[in-house]
Structure 1
Amino acid sequence: MTFSALFRANRVFFITYLLVILSVGTLMLLYTKEQLIRFINDHNSPIGDLLFPYLTYLGDGGFVIVIGVFMLVLNRRAGWLILASFAISGLISLFLKMIVFPERLRPVRYFEHSNWEYHLIKDLHINEYNSFPSGHTTSAFALFSMLAFLWQRKAWGWLGTLLAAIAGYSRVYLFQHFVEDAFVGAILGTITSVITVLYYRKRFGDLPALGKDS
């Protein structure tokens, strides 16, 4: 399978994914990272404060592992694909965080000496270092893009993009990352899943199928 074939088979996922990437990328060109996070942080709400601390777990490593192990029981090959994409993307993300960009500060440390009275959710643990890229966003896009590729109901591909994007947005809303951190995480996680799928198809043949055709 070539990438063009994968794209055609999963056009709903890729189109919605590209719309998100292009939209966020455009905003990053028009505004600084300080302006973007200020806008998101200033538009907090009681509902957001209630939901996003839980929705962010869509990109938590523990959550992805649970899904992967669960899939191992239902479909062994699908489970291994999910876990492989998660492991590879996670190691790359960790390498970038710890080795390539160790000086990248998280928002709470970045704005430590500013006069901006930013909003924080009470009792939420806030990290201070190793901001780039967002590990949660990387894991979320690795997981949900892989599920979209494996799921036979291709018309539901947009849901993979939506759930991963929610996880990415939650990282900025919770003041854990800048938009650029989530943006790169979204690209890294998805590219890892694409490469994993293409390698699997070349080496082992057809992908395992989840669900039924709509």
Structure 2
Amino acid sequence: MNLSLLIRQNRVFFITYLLLLLVVGGLMLTYTKEQLIRFVNDFNSPPGDALFPYLTYLGDGGFVVVVGVLLLVLNRRAGWLVLVSFAISGLISLFLKLVVFPERLRPLRYFEHSNWEYHVIKDLHINEYNSFPSGHTTSAFALFAMLAFLWRHKAWGWTCVLLAAIAGYSRVYLFQHFVEDTFAGSLLGTITSIGVYLVYQKRFGNPPVLG
């Protein structure tokens, strides 16, 4: 299977993801990263404060591992595909954070001396360094992209993009990352899953099908 065939078979996923990239990319070209995070931060609400600390776990490494282990029980090959994609994308994300972009400050430290009265959720632990890219967003897109590729019901591919996007948005809402961090994380996670899927298909034959 080549890339073009994978895209055709998962066109709902890829069309939805492309629209997401175009919208977010357009916003990034139009506004500064400071303006974008101010907009998200100013759009806070009590329901958002209650929900997003939990929704952000859609991209948590522990959650992805649990999903992968459960899949190992149900479908061993599918579980390994999820876990391998998560591991590779996670290692690349860590390398970028710690080696390539170690100076990238997270919003809390970035706006430390600003007069802007930003909103943060009470008692929420917020990191200060190694902002780029967003690890949670990387993991979320690696997981849900792979699930979309393996899922029999291709028409539901948009739900995988939506769930991953919620994880990415939560990182900005929680003041953990800038929009550009999540944008890059989504690309890293998705591209990694595409690569893992295609390499598996080339070496071992057709990947498993879920559902």
TM-score range, shorter chain: over 0.9
Question: Please, what TM-score do these two structures have when normalized by structure 1?
Answer: 0.98
Match of 1:85 in 2: 85
1:20-169 equivalences under 5 Å are 20-169=20-169
Deviations 1:11-47, CA, capped at 9 Å, x for gaps: 0000000100111000000000000000000010000
CA distance in 2, matches of 1:20, 1:210: 25
Structure-1 separation of matches of 2:20 and 2:154 = 18
Deviations 1:157-208 (A, max 9, x none): 0000000000000000000000000000000000000000000110001110
Aligned to 1:175, the other structure's residue is in SS state coil
Indicate the percent of aligned positions where both proteins have the same amino acid: 80
Are positions 1:178 and 2:178 aligned together? yes
Separation (CA, whole Å) in 2 of partners of 1:185 and 1:3: 21
Q: Which sections of structure 2, spanning at least 5 residues, go unmatched?
A: none
SS at match of 2:118: coil
Aligned residue for 1:117, secondary structure, equals coil
User: 2:19 aligns to what?
Assistant: 19
Tell me, in whole angstroms, the C-alpha distance in 2 between the residues paired with 1:22 and 1:193: 20
> How far apart are the structure 1 equivalents of 2:151 and 2:190?
15
Please give the secondary structure, in 2, of the residue aligned with 1:20. helix
Q: Where does structure 1 lack aligned partners over 5 or more consecutive residues?
A: none
2:133 and 2:8 map into 1 onto residues whose CA distance is: 29
- Structure 1 consecutive aligned stretches of length 4 or more whose deviation exceeds 4 Å: none
Cα distance in structure 2, aligned partners of 1:208 and 1:123: 43
Q: Which letter maps to 1:19?
A: L
TM-score by length of 2: 1.00
Post-superposition Cα deviations, 1:54-90, rounded to whole Å, max 9, x if no partner, equal 0000000000000000000000000000000000000
Q: Which secondary structure state, in structure 2, belongs to the residue aligned with residue 131 of structure 1? A: coil
SS in 2 for 1:73: helix
Aligned residue pairs: how many?
211
2:118 and 2:16 map into 1 onto residues whose CA distance is: 31
Q: Tell me what 1:210 maps to.
A: 210
Taking the aligned partners of 1:103 and 1:20, their CA distance within structure 2 comes to: 28
